[in-house]
């Protein structure tokens, strides 16, 4: 097979991705202008501004121009990486996001690694095993999925920070302060990951290649690890979009509970204070991230599963 | 978007729904049974338990006075932050308000937000989905691409954005969650409607010369929507969690209204003094979500078992 279909596929997907990001930016822009009440009044806060003040701020921010002109300059600024100016933080939104992204990525990465390690272990141990074992694991997964993250966080704080004083209750300095937030964030993922992995492994274990591998003398655990697990990971990759969403919305809650710095905290503060440029900026950035992840997922699925390549090309 | 539920096939003993008759067959003798009325025969015990929890929750939402006659906002600073006792079953909060009464009285708002949001998503999603399927290719394409864009706001982010536009509050939080769930419902309804439109009874209706609007309203809409009602019960759980998440962040019901998420947020400041404020409101959310997931999962399995494959 030549590379041409692959490149055409990539170009098409990139084009669609740009459209989705543009759409997200447009939705944010429209929402911005649907706000009941005058955004300039929201910006000026509690003080009651004189009409002159209002007109002055409006002129400075360009709110007195026709809406299509505003939309045009909004898009133009977007392409040059300018996401506007935060009302509350009094700094450019792009700098605010740039500063706050690393701690959130750190938290998300720690939670993801933890969740993967635990659920791979659980799935390898329980897939296709005795009903009792699977029942217990299934019950734990149900509880892990149904328990809201904010409650888990508060419970962990109660016992590990306030009773046992093992970990700090607040802050984002050092490894110790990362443990509880990462565990909290990971817990919701573990339930879902384990279910998906186990279902995939059980499908794979029923395949003839497992039997033939066992017949050649490969041990039970080795077959699970080397053959069944690889098949089970594919549906997990397909969940990446959901995972990114869970990590991002989880970080909004968890960074608030543990008073950590990060993008989630910025979002929570911006929503409460109706700091719309920040919301718009985060929306655009997360749409870009989400699009890249789904692009990666599709590319990866094509690499792993050659049948998809022919279907699309 | 759909999150797999934990109710695996291995949990359901025998064929669900197959044992309507009262005669004790050989399979029935093996099965562990609870003394229940005929309609519930063959329903596993854990589903009955979850259903019972849901009944209690519904009663608490409708008539909180049945469970607690203490007013939820009766302040008593002398008795602040006590642990559980016979007087205060769940202890008291920082203002000495009875935590049990607040959990009971919070049911209506906390569960109502989730149910209301799901209902809104169901209505909006059905309308948009049937419209997309019925109004031709251009409309279909537009609706689907808008859904794609909205679904690129991951998780809570879309709901948070709606709250940022509308401002915090009970109703606004419910609307925000409902709106954020709408694209998923729209896509599902559209898929169903497309299937129904190709079915023989719709073709027969066309042959009989029925109008487009009549066919869409009388045949396509009801048949495309029925499976979604069952799916909606499953999503109520997620909506309740989303609602309490928003109120935990202070974006839902405003004080002094009792609400599970807001109670937890309050209690978080007093963890060093009392553990009770952190435990019970969260337990209420979790019990609700687990019960909804179990019952919804069972209904879905039973419903889909009795139907030809949906195929979307």
Interface ipTM: 0.81
Give the best residue of A128, A145, A239 to mutate against chain B (max B CB count within 10 A).
Answer: A145
Residues B291, A49: Cα–Cα separation, whole Å: 52
For the CA atoms of A148, A151, A156, A157, the dihedral, rounded to the nearest 10 degrees, stands at 140
A151-179 mean pLDDT: 77
Domain contains A305: yes
Q: How much is the pLDDT for B27?
A: 45
Q: Which of A39, A54, A79 is the last residue of a domain?
A: A79
Entry pTM: 0.80
Q: Is B3–A242 a contact, with Cβ atoms under 8 angstroms apart?
A: yes
Residues A230 and A177 reside in one and the same domain? yes
Query: Consecutive sets of 10 residues in chain B, 312 residues long: mean pLDDT of each?
Result: 39 36 42 57 84 90 82 76 78 80 88 93 90 86 87 82 86 92 89 84 86 81 76 85 90 85 84 80 90 86 53 29
A200-218 mean pLDDT: 86
Question: Smallest CA–CA separation between B258 and chain A, in Å?
Answer: 17
Residues A39 and A175 reside in one and the same domain? no
In a 10 Å sphere around its CB, with 0-12 CB exposed, 13-18 middle and 19+ buried, how is residue A228 labelled?
buried
Domain contains A251: yes
Q: Which residues on chain A are in Cβ contact (under 8 Å) with B161?
A: 28, 31, 271, 279, 283
Residues A59 and A167 reside in one and the same domain? no
Q: How much is the pLDDT for B182?
A: 92
Q: Is A146–B290 a contact, with Cβ atoms under 8 angstroms apart?
A: yes
**Chain A, chain B: beta-carbon pairs less than 8 Å apart:** 175
- The b-or-e profile of B13-47 (16+ CB within 10 A means b, else e) is eeebeebeeeeeeeeeeeeeeeeeeeeeebbbeeb
Residues A74 and A138 reside in one and the same domain? no
Domain contains A134: yes
Q: How much is the pLDDT for B15?
A: 35
Domain contains A238: yes
Residues A66 and A199 reside in one and the same domain? no
Domain contains A85: no
Residues A146 and A259 reside in one and the same domain? yes
Q: pLDDT confidence of A230, banded at 50, 70, 90? A: confident
Q: Is A150–B264 a contact, with Cβ atoms under 8 angstroms apart?
A: yes
Q: Which of A22, A45, A79 is the last residue of a domain?
A: A79
Q: Is B156–A252 a contact, with Cβ atoms under 8 angstroms apart?
A: yes
Question: Smallest CA–CA separation between B38 and chain A, in Å?
Answer: 28
Range of the domain at A30: 4-79
Q: Is B251–A272 a contact, with Cβ atoms under 8 angstroms apart?
A: yes
CB A158 within 8 A of CB A89: no
Q: Which of A53, A79, A105 is the last residue of a domain?
A: A79
Q: Is B248–A150 a contact, with Cβ atoms under 8 angstroms apart?
A: yes
Residues A127 and A74 reside in one and the same domain? no
Q: pLDDT at residue A213 above 90?
A: no
Residues A180 and A66 reside in one and the same domain? no
Residues A250, A260: Cα–Cα separation, whole Å: 13
pLDDT digits (tens, 9 = 90+) for A99-125: 999 999 999 999 999 999 999 888 888
CATH assignment of the domain containing A150: 1.10.3720.10
Residues A63 and A164 reside in one and the same domain? no
Domain contains A84: no
pLDDT digits (tens, 9 = 90+) for A183-204: 989 988 898 898 888 888 888 8
Number of domains in chain A: 2
């Amino acid at each position: 097979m030549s590379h041409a279909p692959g490149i055409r596929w990539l170009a098409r997907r990139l084009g669609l991705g740009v459209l989705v990001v543009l759409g997200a930016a447009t939705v944010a822009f429209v929402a911005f202008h649907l706000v009941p009440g005058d955004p300039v009044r929201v910006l000026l806060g509690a003080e009651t501004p004189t009409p002159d003040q209002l007109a002055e701020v409006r002129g400075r921010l360009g709110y007195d121009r026709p809406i299509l002109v505003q939309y045009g300059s909004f898009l133009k600024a977007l392409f040059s990486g300018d996401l506007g100016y935060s009302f509350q933080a009094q700094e450019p939104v792009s700098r605010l996001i740039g500063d706050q992204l690393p701690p959130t990525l750190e938290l998300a990465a720690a939670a993801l690694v933890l969740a993967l390690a635990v659920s791979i272990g659980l799935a390898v141990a329980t897939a296709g095993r005795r009903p009792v074992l699977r029942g217990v694991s299934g019950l734990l997964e149900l509880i892990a999925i149904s328990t809201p993250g904010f409650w888990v966080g508060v419970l962990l704080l109660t016992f590990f920070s306030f009773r046992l004083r093992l970990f700090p209750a607040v802050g984002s300095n050092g490894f110790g302060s990362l443990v509880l937030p990462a565990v909290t964030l990971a817990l919701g993922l573990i339930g879902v990951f384990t279910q998906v992995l186990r279902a995939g492994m059980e499908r794979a274990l029923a395949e003839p290649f497992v039997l033939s591998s066992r017949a050649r003398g490969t041990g039970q655990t080795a077959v699970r690890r080397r053959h069944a697990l690889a098949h089970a990971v594919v549906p997990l990759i397909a969940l990446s979009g959901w995972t990114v969403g869970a990590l991002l919305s989880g970080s909004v809650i968890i960074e608030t509970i543990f008073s950590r710095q990060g993008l989630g905290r910025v979002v929570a503060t911006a929503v409460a204070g109706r700091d719309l440029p920040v919301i718009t900026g985060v929306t655009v950035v997360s749409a870009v991230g989400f699009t890249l992840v789904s692009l990666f997922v599709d590319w990866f699925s094509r690499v792993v599963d050659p049948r998809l390549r022919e279907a699309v090309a | 978007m759909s999150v797999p539920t934990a109710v695996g096939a291995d949990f359901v003993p025998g064929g669900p729904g197959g044992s309507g008759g009262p005669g004790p067959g050989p399979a029935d003798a093996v099965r562990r049974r609870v003394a229940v009325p005929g309609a519930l025969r063959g329903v596993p015990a854990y589903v009955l338990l979850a259903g019972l929890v849901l009944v209690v929750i519904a009663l608490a939402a409708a008539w909180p006075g049945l469970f607690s006659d203490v007013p939820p906002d009766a302040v008593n600073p002398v008795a602040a932050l006590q642990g559980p006792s016979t007087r205060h079953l769940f202890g008291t909060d920082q203002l000495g308000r009875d935590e049990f009464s607040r959990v009971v009285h919070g049911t209506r708002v906390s569960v109502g937000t989730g149910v209301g949001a799901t209902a809104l998503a169901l209505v909006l999603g059905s309308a948009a989905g049937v419209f997309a399927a019925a109004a031709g290719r251009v409309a279909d394409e537009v609706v689907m691409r808008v859904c794609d864009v909205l679904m690129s706001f991951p998780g809570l982010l879309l709901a948070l954005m709606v709250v940022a536009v509308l401002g915090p509050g009970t109703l606004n939080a419910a609307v925000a969650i409902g709106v954020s769930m709408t694209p998923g419902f729209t896509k599902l309804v559209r898929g169903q409607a497309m299937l129904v439109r190709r079915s023989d009874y719709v073709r027969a209706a066309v042959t009989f010369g029925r109008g487009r609007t009549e066919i869409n309203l009388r045949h396509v809409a009801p048949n495309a929507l029925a499976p979604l009602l069952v799916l909606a019960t499953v999503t109520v759980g997620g909506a309740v969690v989303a609602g309490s998440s928003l109120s935990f962040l202070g974006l839902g019901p405003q004080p002094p209204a009792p609400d599970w998420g807001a109670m937890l947020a309050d209690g978080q400041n007093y963890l060093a003094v009392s553990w009770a404020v952190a435990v019970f409101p969260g337990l209420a959310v979790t019990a609700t979500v687990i019960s909804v997931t179990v019952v919804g999962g069972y209904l879905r399995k039973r419903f889909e078992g009795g139907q030809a494959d949906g195929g979307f």
